[in-house]
Structure 1
Amino acid sequence: MSSALFDPVFGADRVAARLDDASWVAALVAVEVALARAAAEHGVVPAADAARIAAVAGDLRIDPAELGRAAVEGGNPVIPLVRLLREAAGEAGRSVHPGATSQDVMDTAAVLLTGWAGEIVLDDLRGAADAAAALAAAHRTTPMIARTLGQQALPTTFGLVAAGWCAGLDRATAGLARPFSALPVQLGGAAGTLAALHPHGPAVAASLAASLGLSDTPPWHTERTRIGELAGALAVAAGACAKPATDVVLLAGTELGEVSEAAPGDSSSMPHKRNPIAAITARGAARRAPGLAAVLLAAADHEHQRAAGAWHAEWQTLGELLRATGGAAARLRTCLKGLVVHPDRMAANLALTSGTDPSPGHAADLVDRLLADRP
């Protein structure tokens, strides 16, 4: 999970700050408080109890390490958290966790964390796409050689190359924004039937969703397609970041020298090197995403009404996937915003395959079309 040593290197520090242990605890507590208030709204628990629970929760100081150790016996941190809240609330403790099961609180907290982190991921993806669009507009007629299968092919423009980066990032951003915009509440009770809250269960769930800014959705305890869709969208977004990062690494090579980063990295042993570190670390972050997404997809077969292990595998994996994709987007944004283009090197490399018409008009028309189609 979060690492003070590696998160800044791979661009995940902003996202990680919303996914750390303290954030998990804050999300779990927020769900319990919101649940008590939602239950009170519909007369399931006394309003005074809900107010007392909210007050003590605000003053409660929970050590994530202690909560983690206490969670070992039950297999999740909600069980000891509920005990802490009930003890702190005194008589009002009877109204903590009304009609819920541990999975309700864990899933809803995970969804909250996903939304908190998702704001940053989408911001960096849009920032990277905007930087690519700016490069495309500035270099719509800057000729360069296209390369296919590693060999020089026909002329193109750097603007068209950058417009392709932008199109992929825009498409991936839109695909990721959809699941982020419909993050669902989870409230089903012990077996997903809302029996303990009958006949107020659906109303309590709706109020809980509204208070947390989530979608009101029937219980989805072992129907995990939403997690799979989110995992796929995050992996696709990471791939959209990896494409321009890979191109930059290749184009910045000494023998090509067609682009360079504004703040290249140095070497501990070779002072002449100017490494495209932002692009390199964007690639490094993005490479982790498909494997993490695969874990979430492989865990989709939740058995019966509560999964034994598949559910547990999601908690850290989802956070790591958000960090990987968010880190790739952040590092790519840095790379593209400061990218320096060298038209002289592009012209020199283009001249290596002489006799080819370098007229950029047709490529420029495509740049204009791609940029005009941006959302």
Structure 2
Amino acid sequence: MTSSPHTGSIFGAVFARGGAAREVTDRAWLHAMVEFEAALAGVQARAGIIPDDAAQAIAGACQRPLDAAAATAGSSATGTPVAGVVAQLREYTGAPHAQYVHYGATSQDVMDSAAMLVTKRALVPIRADLADVADTCATLAEEHRDTVMAGRTLLQQAVTITFGLKAARWMSGVDTAIDRLDSLHHSALAVQYGGAAGTLCTLDDRGPEVTRALAERLRLATPELAWHSDRTRIADIAGALGIASGSCAKIATDIRLLAQTEVAEASEAPPAGDDSRAGTGGITRGGSTAMPHKRNPVAAVAAGACAQRTPALVATLLGSMAGEHERAAGAWHTEWETLSDLLRLTSSAASWLLESLRSLTVFPDRMLTNLAAPLRGGSLGSAGADVDRALRRHRGHG
């Protein structure tokens, strides 16, 4: 099996940095497809639909390594990699049980269920990094509750705020994004098993029973109906990831602006105990190939670059809702790579942002110096109380 082309590319260090990258590889997708087939055979045998011997033979076949090239060949012939996977599993299973591989299922059942498994696993590192981002913002908010700085609207100085309030707002946005991701587990991450046209006609009236058992086996939600043509689950996932990525983009943008030479109210420090020159041709972390005096906020720049690519991916997944009749003729196919890319880039944005925040050095004296004379001594309003309230909410969060 091959890995994602991104992890081994020259751009992988930027765009495949987060923990989700390893969860969306070709290997991860094939593993999820095989996991579905093994679980399906297991629950069908338990329900008496296929022989126990057949389920055992299929389970054994699912333990054997798959030929990714054969799955690719199946994609070329049928439009999905499922045909190649099923053909190999049937070959491994052998007579007389090969006929029970993929019993009653259609390719979309496999791909949609695999997408849910891949997403569920990729959300783990995404959520972990976002939680650490929120905690780091909370620390900044607490430490700088009373650090005065200029509030800026339309990029111009407005009224006096505190850096603690700015960090608390960052934290609050990320907490909201985490809530949206957590909500996906209740209904969006559901198993798919509908057969040829969503009726599971090969199982007569036992379809709902098998679907519930399959969902339980795979630890996914049980849908009320087969959702071949109802892509709201994919849209929910896309929206939640888009919000998470956007919350990262907001913070990364503020950090880049604060780090401008003319502003200099914050900067990213090099990693502790590391001169950041190893393997870079002597260029210091944050430096420039042409201007060695520079200290670029590299992590915030990279976080923003990852996040900037995600809105188009969200739009593509929302567009896939407009499918034809009981199975889309192309719109559904657009989801697979798009979803993988969205998970990978959101994860990478969060990972980069966490590094940026953890290395952030804040310069309160510079914030005070930059404050325009008419704003000095101005009222801070409810800034301190707002920080305290946001921190209490965060500490009771998930």
TM-score range normalised by the length of the shorter chain: over 0.9
Structure-2 separation of matches of 1:65 and 1:74: 14
**Deviation readout 1:101-142 (Å, 9 max, x if unpaired):** 110011000110000101111111111111111100110001
What residue in structure 2 maps to residue 147 of structure 1?
152
Structure 1 partner of 2:265: 258
Asked whether 1:285 is paired with 2:306, we answer: yes
Report the 3-state secondary structure (helix = DSSP H, G, I; strand = E; otherwise coil) of the residue aligned with 1:156. strand
Matches of 2:65 and 2:236 in 1, distance apart?
35
SS at match of 1:44: coil
CA contact (8 A) 2:86 2:101 kept: yes
CA distance in 2, matches of 1:276, 1:348: 22
The whole-number CA distance in structure 2 between the counterparts of 1:187 and 1:11 is: 32
Q: Shift in Å at residue 71 of structure 1?
A: 2.2
The residue aligned with 2:273 is none
Given candidates 85, 106, 109, the residue that maps to 1:104 is 109
Q: Alignment RMSD, CA only?
A: 1.4
State the alpha-carbon separation in 1 of the partners of residues 99 and 375 from structure 2. 84
8 A contact 1:146–1:156 mirrored in 2: yes
TM-score by length of 2: 0.91
1:121, 1:329 within 8 Å by CA — same for their partners in 2? yes
State the distance in 1 between where 2:80 and 2:301 align.
Answer: 37
- Give the one of 76, 83, 86 matched to 2:87: 83
Find out whether 1:373 has 2:393 as its counterpart: yes
* Match in the other structure for 1:200: 206
AA at the equivalent of 1:223: D
Q: Is the 8 A contact 1:281 1:328 kept in 2?
A: yes
Please give the alpha-carbon distance, in whole angstroms, between the structure 1 residues aligned to 2:238 and 2:375: 48
- 1:220-239 equivalences under 5 Å are 220-239=227-246
Taking only the aligned residue pairs, the percentage that are identical comes to 46
Does the residue aligned with 2:180 lie in a helix, a strand or coil?
A: helix
Paired AA for residue 232 in structure 1:
G
Contact 2:127–2:178 at 8 Å: present in 1 too?
yes
Question: Deviation at 1:370?
Answer: 1.2
Match of 2:382 among 362, 368, 372: 362
CA distance in 1, matches of 2:344, 2:317: 15
The residue that corresponds to 2:274 in the other structure is none
2:385 maps to amino acid? D
What CA distance in whole angstroms lies between the structure 1 residues aligned with 2:309 and 2:350? 13
CA contact (8 A) 2:70 2:84 kept: no
One-letter amino acid of the structure 2 residue matched with residue 231 of structure 1: A
Asked whether 1:210 is paired with 2:207, we answer no
Matches of 1:312 and 1:216, distance apart in 2: 23
In the TM superposition, residue 2 of structure 1 has moved relative to its aligned partner by: 4.3
Question: Which 10-residue stretch deviates more, 255-264 or 312-321?
Answer: 255-264
Q: Which amino acid aligns with 1:68?
A: T
Q: Secondary structure at the match of 1:274?
A: coil
Find the partner of 2:134 among 106, 129, 134: 129
Partner secondary structure for residue 77 of structure 2 = coil
* TM value normalised by structure 1: 0.96
Q: One-letter code of the match for 1:35?
A: L
CA deviation map 1:132-165 (0-9, x unaligned)? 1110011000111111111112211100000000
Letter in 1 for 2:373: T
SS of the counterpart of 2:170?
helix
AA partner of residue 239 (structure 1): G
CA distance in 2, matches of 1:40, 1:246: 54
Deviation, structure 1 residue 294: 0.3
Where 1:152 maps in the other structure, the secondary structure is: strand
Equivalence for 1:310 = 331
Structure 1: which amino acid aligns with 2:264? G
> Residue 71 of structure 1 aligns to a residue in which SS?
helix
Q: Distance in 1 between matches of 2:99 and 2:69?
A: 26
**2:168–2:390 Cα contact (<8 Å) kept:** yes
For 1:307, what is the secondary structure of its paired residue? Answer: coil
Alignment-derived partner of residue 346 in structure 1: 367
> In structure 2, how many angstroms separate the alpha carbons of the residues matched to 1:36 and 1:193?
18
Residue of structure 1 in register with 2:297 after alignment: 276
**Contact map agreement 1:222 1:307 (CA 8 A) in 2:** yes
Structure 1 portions without partners, runs of 5+? none
- The reply on whether 1:190 has 2:190 as its aligned counterpart is no
> Is 1:68 matched up with 2:88?
no
Counterpart residue identity of residue 249, structure 1 = R
Distance 1:137 1:180 in 2: 32
Aligned residues: 373
